[in-house]
Amino acid sequence: MSIKVIVLAATLALAVADVRPSYNQQAYGKPEAYPDAPPKYDFNYAVKDDYSGNSYGHNEGRDGYNTQGSYNVLLPDGRVQTVTYRDDGNGLYADVTYQQGGYQRAYEQPRYEQPAYRA
């Protein structure tokens, strides 16, 4: 019986001694209110590297639901592909055109001999 009392007293002493500090819950502020304004932006970029032959660009403008722009890229066969697009909120309309270009590489393409196979 005395062992039961000792174990009970030790358990109570451990339970009382193990007091952990409690922290208050963090209070959050009001979320920021953003104006409900229609988007409006313009951007463009272009890359032209004569040595590697990289040539491409993109421009776009948006005012509300009216988005329009174009991008172009120099294809491996020397043609320039231009995509002109617009979106007025009712869907995307794109026009793709190709122009013949007179691009010549700044370096000569390497030539390799055909391997000889023996039976």
19 against 24, higher pLDDT:
24
Span 42-62, pLDDT tens digits: 999 999 988 877 889 999 999
What was the pLDDT predicted at 46? 96
Domain ranges of the chain: 36-103
What was the pLDDT predicted at 71? 95
What was the pLDDT predicted at 43? 96
Long-range contact list for 47-52, CB < 8 A, 24+ apart?
50/106, 51/106, 51/107, 52/106
What was the pLDDT predicted at 28? 83
